[in-house]
């Protein structure tokens, strides 16, 4: 069954599998929640990444992008 794409306005968090696989079971990232923002960039147009309401670490003028496969919707 295909996953429904993430859309602007949805609240998301990192998946437990991603946190476990990257050794982040303890720490703040597991508690972080973001809101998906609209973004016309090539990364977001593919649907493989989404822009969030957090600023990018590399360029504070742009939103942080996270791979959609590493995110789940908050309930």
The pLDDT value recorded for residue 1 is: 53
More confident residue, 30 or 67: 67
Mean pLDDT of 50-60: 94
Quote the pLDDT of residue 24: 76
Domain total for the chain? 1
Residue 5 lies in a domain: no
State pTM to two decimals: 0.85
DSSP 19-61: HHHTT-SSSGGGG--EEEE---SHHHHTTSEEEEEEEPSS-TT
Q: Is the confidence at residue 9, as pLDDT, over 60?
A: yes
Kindly report, residue by residue over 15-52, the tens digit of the pLDDT: 989 888 888 766 667 688 999 999 999 999 999 999 99
Q: 57 in a domain, yes or no?
A: yes
* Assigned token pair, 29: 């990232």
Alpha carbons 69 and 26: distance in angstroms, whole number: 21
Residues 6+ apart with CB under 8 A from 28: none
Domain that holds residue 62: 11-73
């Amino acid at each position: 069954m295909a996953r429904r794409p993430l859309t602007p306005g949805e609240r998301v968090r990192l998946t437990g599998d991603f946190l476990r696989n990257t050794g982040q079971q303890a720490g703040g990232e597991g508690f972080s929640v973001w809101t998906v923002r609209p973004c016309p960039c090539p990364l977001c147009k593919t649907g493989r990444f989404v822009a969030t309401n957090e600023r990018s670490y590399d360029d504070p003028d742009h939103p942080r992008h996270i791979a959609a496969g590493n995110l789940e919707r908050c309930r």
